[in-house]
């Protein structure tokens, strides 16, 4: 009787989807910058820069997150989209900036 070879455990590899990669980077970024107050240090973090490089594929994910609660994705979205829907006087107010991005998303065909 032939023995059945044991299968080797799957080595961790790159994530299967853009969302998985995005969430991994988000976890790293949040863990490593959650205590920072410097805008520059937060947006220059390597995980944040990698999220930006994922491009427009992450815009729906960010908008979905903004629906749940205001988040710092409002700092990434202008770099990814080239848009700036935040009215003058609302910059720096993450809640108002999130609302502006959600309006922008709806106007541009995103479900948010």
Identify whether 35 is part of a domain.
yes
pLDDT exceeds cutoff 80 at 9: no
If one counts the domains in the chain, the total is 1
| Per-residue pLDDT tens over the stretch 55-84 | 999 999 999 999 999 999 999 999 999 999
Identify whether 10 is part of a domain.
no
Identify whether 98 is part of a domain.
yes
> Tell me, what's the pLDDT at 13?
60
| Per-residue pLDDT tens over the stretch 28-58 | 999 999 998 999 999 999 999 999 999 999 9
63 and 105 Cβ atoms separated by less than 8 Å: yes
Identify whether 5 is part of a domain.
no
Q: Which band of pLDDT confidence, cut at 50, 70 and 90, is reported for residue 15? A: low
> Tell me, what's the pLDDT at 7?
45
Identify whether 62 is part of a domain.
yes
Identify whether 112 is part of a domain.
no
Identify whether 96 is part of a domain.
yes
Place of tokens 């220059």: 44
Q: Which domain holds residue 61?
A: 18-107
Identify whether 90 is part of a domain.
yes
- Evaluate if pTM is beyond 0.85: no
Hey, CA dihedral for 110, 78, 15, 27, is it positive or negative?
negative
51 and 76 Cβ atoms separated by less than 8 Å: yes
Collapsed DSSP state (helix, strand, coil) of residue 82: coil
């Amino acid at each position: 009787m032939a023995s059945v070879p044991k299968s080797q455990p799957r080595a961790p590899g790159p994530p299967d989807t853009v969302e998985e990669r995005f969430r991994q980077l988000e976890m790293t970024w949040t863990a490593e910058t959650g205590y920072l107050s410097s805008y520059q240090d937060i947006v220059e973090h390597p995980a944040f820069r990698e999220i930006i490089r994922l491009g427009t594929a992450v815009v729906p994910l960010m908008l979905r997150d903004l629906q749940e609660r205001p988040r710092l994705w409002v700092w990434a979205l202008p770099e990814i989209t080239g848009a700036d829907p935040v009215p003058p006087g609302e910059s720096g107010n993450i809640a108002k900036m999130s609302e502006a991005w959600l309006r922008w998303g709806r106007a541009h065909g995103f479900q948010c």
